[in-house]
Amino acid sequence: MANSLASFYRGKKVLVTGHTGFKGGWLTAWLKILGAHVIGFALPPGTRPNLFDAATIDRDMVSLFGDVRNFEELSGTFAERSPEIVIHSAAQPLVRRSYREPVETFATNVMGTVHVLEAARHTPSVRAVVVVTSDKCYENREWFWGYREEDAMGGHDPYSSSKGCAELVTAAYRHSFFASESAAIASARAGNVIGGGDWSEDRLMPDIVRGISSGTRIVIRRPDSTRPWQHVLEVVRGYLLLAQRLWEDGQRYAKAWNFGPSDESAIPVAEVAKRTIALWGKGEINIRPDSGAPHESKYLHLNSEKARNHLGWQATLTIDQALEWSVEWYRLYYENPACALPVTETQIQRYMRMFP
Ligand SMILES: NC(=O)c1ccc[n+]([C@@H]2O[C@H](COP(=O)([O-])OP(=O)(O)OC[C@H]3O[C@@H](n4cnc5c(N)ncnc54)[C@H](O)[C@@H]3O)[C@@H](O)[C@H]2O)c1
């Protein structure tokens, strides 16, 4: 599959929103390896350190700082750069922050998506659009079997709701404006992603890494909370395959897609911390349950059979491999920050070799 990705993406003009972020950084690095012409559009990186600066993501691409809430700015970029493929990954992606900043979260995640799709429909060069949403877009019934793409949208907190809304926006644009053969749009739903280069607030792996690297105890607030974990490269491969199929076979793939990990990858938060510490060889945990924490939905498990049967995508790395690759990345980075780019590229190449 890697070969076909390489032959497909070579020379393609791909606009990535959110290239200064965690997933967008990995996606951009991979697209550059594949030989694509990448145009990035995002706010400047919001954390220090960050993958964008550490791995010099802005090299060998057109990197633009802009705000998806500003339609003029965004549509000007589409008009000027004429992308052929768009992968919309920019978002306010944090649940806790969405409680503090609901208006900004809805503005970025909902109207930002409207702006991307509106700009895309007025850009004749665009043939494929992938909108990145989340497993949290589903109305969480707290049941134990996997959610399928046809299940109802919902979302208790502002972030989850904004992702459900982004799905509805995408469906409305697809039915209203993209039903012809000219361009095809799809959405991609995935869950908790881990991997090197994420330093976001209120995320487990970055919290663990901050604790280990600074020699402070890692505070775990929801030790028994079980989440499905997957490596960022698994999800990014899903986006790449989906955009390729949209380009090649248009409307057949213009729908919503789940990209979830295997069942074995759902382990409790405390277990992720313990295994990470064991792999790194240092670190200490402080379990401190937070009774006043805002509501977060319980375990939500995606059924990804559609992606497996129709895109040839399936989760490949075990949870232990995903943790090993993540720890390898961070450990090398803290030994020598200049390693960030070579480690990122080496891991992408290693992952590509898994799909001959
Ligand atoms: N990381 C996860 O575990 C996870 C899980 C499910 C879904 N997602 C989704 O994946 C996507 C990427 O998430 P991430 O983990 O890389 O987050 P991130 O915070 O690392 O990156 C977000 C990106 O969006 C950009 N951005 C934010 N607001 C913007 C605005 N108003 N205008 C332009 N750019 C803006 C940021 O600059 C950054 O480049 C998001 O859509 C997120 O909701 C992430």
* Band of pLDDT at residue 283, cut at 50, 70 and 90: very high
Task: Tell me, yes or no, whether 324 lies in a domain.
Answer: no
Q: In 3D, which of 340, 151, 342 has the Cα closest to residue 260?
A: 151
Mean per-residue pLDDT, 165-184: 93
Q: In 3D, which of 30, 50, 311 has the Cα closest to residue 201?
A: 50
- Domain total for the chain? 1
CATH number for the domain harbouring residue 99 = 3.40.50.720
Work out the mean pLDDT of the chain and round it to a whole number: 95
Nearest CA to ligand 1 atom 37: 43
Would you state the pLDDT for residue 2?
A: 40
Would you state the pLDDT for residue 279?
A: 98
Task: Answer yes or no: is pLDDT of 190 > 50.
Answer: yes
pLDDT tens-digit map of 313-346: 999 999 999 999 999 999 999 999 999 999 999 9
Task: Answer yes or no: is pLDDT of 294 > 80.
Answer: no
Determine the Cα–Cα distance for residues 261 and 275; give it in Å rounded to an integer. 18
> Does 238 contact ligand 1 (Cβ within 6 A)?
no
CA of 309 to the centre of ligand 1 (A): 28
CA of 24 to the centre of ligand 1 (A): 8
Task: Answer yes or no: is pLDDT of 350 > 70.
Answer: yes
Task: Tell me, yes or no, whether 67 lies in a domain.
Answer: yes
Task: Tell me, yes or no, whether 277 lies in a domain.
Answer: no
Would you state the pLDDT for residue 297?
A: 66
> Does 69 contact ligand 1 (Cβ within 6 A)?
yes
Task: Tell me, yes or no, whether 355 lies in a domain.
Answer: no
Task: Tell me, yes or no, whether 137 lies in a domain.
Answer: yes
Most informative mutation of 19, 30, 43, 133 for ligand 1 (most atoms within 8 A of CB): 43
> Does 148 contact ligand 1 (Cβ within 6 A)?
no
Task: Report the atom number in ligand 1 closest to the C-alpha of 17.
Answer: 34
Task: Answer yes or no: is pLDDT of 1 > 60.
Answer: no
Task: Tell me, yes or no, whether 7 lies in a domain.
Answer: yes
Task: Tell me, yes or no, whether 165 lies in a domain.
Answer: yes
Task: Tell me, yes or no, whether 116 lies in a domain.
Answer: yes
pLDDT tens-digit map of 51-91: 999 999 999 999 999 999 999 999 999 999 999 999 999 99
Mean per-residue pLDDT, 200-228: 94
The percent of residues above 70 in pLDDT, for the chain, comes to 98
Determine the Cα–Cα distance for residues 350 and 147; give it in Å rounded to an integer. 31
Would you state the pLDDT for residue 330?
A: 98
Please provide the size of the chain in residues: 356
Q: In 3D, which of 264, 163, 284, 162 has the Cα closest to residue 214?
A: 284
> Does 93 contact ligand 1 (Cβ within 6 A)?
yes
CA of 237 to the centre of ligand 1 (A): 17
pTM, rounded to two decimals: 0.97
Domain region containing 69: 2-193+229-263+298-317
pLDDT tens-digit map of 5-61: 999 999 999 999 999 999 999 999 999 999 999 999 999 999 999 999 999 999 999
